[in-house]
Amino acid sequence: MKFLEPYIQLIESGLGDLDLPAKPATLYEPQRYTLSGKAKRIRPVLVLIGCGLTGNDPRKAIPAALAVELLHNFTLIHDDIMDDADSRRGRPSVHVKWDLATAILSGDSMFVQAYRQLHRLDPSADFRKIHHLFTEGINQVCEGQALDMEFETRSDVTADEYLGMIAGKTGALISASLQMGAAVGGAGEEQLNQLSLAGESLGLAFQIQDDLLDVIANPEKFGKKQGGDICEGKKTILMLTTLERCKADERQRIMAAIAGKPLSDELVEWITLLYHQYGAIESAREMMGSYYAKAEKAVKTFDDSTYKEDLTKLIHFLKNREY
The per-residue b/e assignment along 84-118, b for 16 or more CB within 10 angstroms, e otherwise, is eeeebeeeebbbbbbeeebbeebbebbbebbeebb
Whether the predicted pLDDT of 219 surpasses 60: yes
Our count of domains for the chain comes to: 1
pLDDT band of 87, cuts 50, 70, 90:
confident
170 DSSP 8-state letter: I
Q: Determine the structural domain holding residue 123 and report its residue range.
A: 2-319
Q: What is the pLDDT of residues 34-74, one digit of tens each?
A: 999 888 899 999 999 999 999 999 999 999 999 999 999 99
**Other C-beta atoms lying within 10 Å of the C-beta of residue 253:** 16
For the segment 160-182, the average pLDDT, to the nearest whole number, is 97
Read off φ and ψ for residue 88, nearest 5 degrees: -150, 125
Q: What is the pLDDT of residues 179-188, one digit of tens each?
A: 999 999 999 9
CATH number at residue 77: 1.10.600.10
Q: What is the pLDDT of residues 228-274, one digit of tens each?
A: 999 999 999 999 999 999 999 999 999 999 988 899 999 999 999 99
What are the Cα distances from residue 33, in Å, to 16, 23, 79? Answer: 12, 14, 16
Give residue 224's pLDDT: 64
Give residue 261's pLDDT: 86
Read off φ and ψ for residue 186, nearest 5 degrees: 85, 30
Q: What is the pLDDT of residues 287-305, one digit of tens each?
A: 999 999 999 999 999 999 9
Give residue 225's pLDDT: 72
**What pTM did the predictor assign?**
0.93
